Amino acid sequence: MFQRLTAIFALAALTAGCSTADRLAQIGAPPHLTPVASGHDTAGQRPIVMPMPRQETPIYQANSLWAAGSRSFFKDQRASRIGDIVTVRIDIADQAQVSNQTTRSRKSDEKADLTNLLGLETGVVGKLLPDGYTPSAALDIGSDSATQGAGAVNRSEKIALTVAAVVSQVLPNGNLVVEGRQEVRINFEVRELTVSGIVRPEDVSATNEIKHSQLAEARISYGGRGQLTDMQQPRLGAQVVDILFPF
């Protein structure tokens, strides 16, 4: 058991080795900001593949400015191509309250007697039975079970943020894949906001804005890193104990 625990702590130390070394090298300095990127290298992101309808080529009519199959008549400045910027407004106000209670009770009794056994109860079989044996109380079984459970959930969330996202991909049906990331450093704490999802060009407002509720496959993350976040997180050893300790 000691060898196993030693191996586990050694593995945890090796896993966190690079992170620990970087943090030791940054003692006394504020956390570094992530370099500005195009959005394609966001962690965990990959090109989206979805079934698309058949594409139609616009056909221009003689002496006409309109092309059949066009999505709009006048050109506007709303995001529509890779590299364009669109503002995402995040306004989340969710509240949920759930309460459950379960009660179960069961009781059973079984009783049997053995007064006659082919007439042998007074012969050899009777002699083998212990003293004080009562045939009318040969078997008596009883069980009692009770279960009671209660649970409650009371959750309330409210987030109001705005972030500029970049169009990183245009799907064959015209929908836009947007990805945005924002970092703000205050003293020794960095607040991070990331957002990504799929939007319809028709949902982009005239002011080039989109609501978070109009993002399909929305992924929104708001957190931070720095000295305050480190103080709120349990140490690596405590996390390992929480995972492995069975009680």
Give the lowest-confidence range in 3-12, 139-148, 153-162, 232-241. 3-12
Query: Any residues with CB less than 8 A from the CB of 220 and at least 6 apart, and which?
Result: 90, 92, 194, 195, 212
Look at 113 and 171; give whichever has higher pLDDT: 171
Residue 215 burial (C-beta neighbours within 10 Å; 0-12, 13-18, 19+): buried
| Separation of alpha carbons 12 and 18, rounded Å | 11
pTM, entire model: 0.56
CA distances, 227 to each of 146, 194, 232, 235, 238 (Å): 49, 21, 9, 13, 18
Which residues make Cβ contacts (< 8 Å) with residue 116, sequence separation at least 6?
Answer: 135
Q: Positive or negative CA dihedral for 34, 35, 38, 43?
A: negative
Residue 74 has pLDDT above 80, yes or no: no
Across 123-149, average pLDDT: 65
Contact yes or no for 201/71 (Cβ under 8 A) = yes
Average pLDDT of the segment spanning 98-122: 69
**C-alpha to C-alpha distance for 220 and 44, rounded to whole angstroms:** 13
The percent helix, strand, coil of the chain (3-state, each to 5) is: 20, 40, 35
Q: How far is CA 176 from CA 79, 91, 171, in A?
A: 9, 21, 6
Helical spans, DSSP H, in 82-203: 124-128
Return the higher-pLDDT residue of 19 and 93.
Answer: 93
Q: Mind listing the pLDDT tens digit for each residue in 40-63? A: 566 566 666 665 656 666 566 666
| Closest residue by Cα to residue 87 from 153, 180, 14, 158 | 180
Question: Parallel, antiparallel, or unpaired: how do β-strands 209-211 and 85-112 relate?
Answer: parallel
Quote the CA–CA distance of 91 and 93 in Å, as a whole number.
7
Cα-trace Rg, the chain? 35
pLDDT, residue 6, reads 67
